[in-house]
Amino acid sequence: MTSITGHTITVTPGTMHVRAVSDGQVLAESRRPLVLRETGCPDRYYLPPEDVRTELLTPSDTRTHCPFKGDASYWSLPGAADLVWGYPEPKEAVAAIKDHYCFYATDVVAD
């Protein structure tokens, strides 16, 4: 956990079944997401690369900076720009999310 002036981030292993779908196509499916909880943000699921259909994703030129997590890279699908992001070199406090993928839209699947 990291906490800077009231801003807290935790990364914990999850056991829920998480799926990312775009236009009916499954892009990722995992039962071992990392759950990132950050002050003021919705819970985000960071999925290991083995559970993501990376062959469908195209690297984007978009980059953003988070003072708490580091510099993010993005990936797109045809017609869906910057749908996915990740932190190739995250800050030490969230090092676990390195090389994992996060999707704007994910569903937790009830098994």
Residue 111 has pLDDT above 70, yes or no: no
- Which tens digit of pLDDT belongs to each residue from 38-57? 999 999 999 999 999 999 99
Averaged pLDDT score across all residues of the chain: 91
Q: How far apart are CA 44 and CA 25, in angstroms?
A: 20
pLDDT score at 5: 66
- CB-CB contact of 94 with 11 (8 Å): yes
For the chain, the domain total comes to 1
Range of the domain at 97: 2-109
pTM over 0.85: yes
Specify the pairing of strand 101-103 against strand 34-38: unpaired
pLDDT digits (tens, 9 = 90+) for 89-107: 999 999 999 999 999 877 7
In CATH, what number is assigned to the domain containing residue 30?
2.170.150.40
